[in-house]
Structure 1
Amino acid sequence: MTVHSAETAKVDTTALWSELREKVTLFPTVAGSFPAASFGHIMGGYDAGYYGYLWSEVFSADMFFSRFDKEGVMNPKCGRSYRHLILQPGGSRDGMDMLKDFLGREPTLDAFLKSIGLTKA
Structure 2
Amino acid sequence: MAALSPLQPKLRAHVEKYGSALPHTFMDDVTDEAVRLFRAGQVEAILPLLDFLESEFGADEYIDNVIALSFVDSLPGPGEPGADIETSLPPKLRGELERHRHWSAPGAGG
**TM-score category, normalised to shorter length:** under 0.3
- Structure with bigger RCO (C-alpha 8 Å, 6+ apart): 2
Hey, which of these two has a bigger chunk of helix by percent? Answer: 2
Q: TM-score with structure 2 length normalisation?
A: 0.26
Q: TM-score with structure 1 length normalisation?
A: 0.24
